[in-house]
Amino acid sequence: VKTQLLIPAAGLGVRLGAEGPKALVPLAGKPMLAHTLERFRPLGLIPAAIVLIAPEHRALFETALDAAFPGMALRLVPGGAERQESVANGLAALDADTEIVVIHDAARPFVATASIQASIEAAAEFGAATVAIPSVDTILEGDADAFLTATPDRTRLWACQTPQTFRTEVIREAHRRARADGFLGTDDASLVRRIGGPVKLVHGTRLNMKLTTPDDRRLAELIAGGQFV
Ligand code: CTP
Ligand code: MG
Q: How far apart are CA 227 and CA 26, in angstroms?
A: 16
- Of all ligands present, the nearest one to the C-alpha of 104 is 1
Q: What is the pLDDT of residues 139-174, one digit of tens each?
A: 999 999 999 999 999 999 999 999 999 999 999 999
Fill in the amino acid letter for 81.
A
Q: What is the pLDDT of residue 161?
A: 98
Ion ligand 2 — residues with CB < 5 Å: 11
Say how many Å lie between the CA of residue 172 and the centre of ligand 1: 21
Phi, psi of 88 (to 5 degrees): -60, -40
Q: Tell whether pTM > 0.75.
A: yes
Q: How far apart are CA 176 and CA 59, in angstroms?
A: 31
- Of all ligands present, the nearest one to the C-alpha of 54 is 1
Three-class DSSP category at 26: strand
Q: How far apart are CA 162 and CA 105, in angstroms?
A: 6
Say how many Å lie between the CA of residue 40 and the centre of ligand 1: 20
Residues with CB under 6 A from ligand 1: 8-16, 22-23, 52, 79-83, 86, 105-107, 210, 212
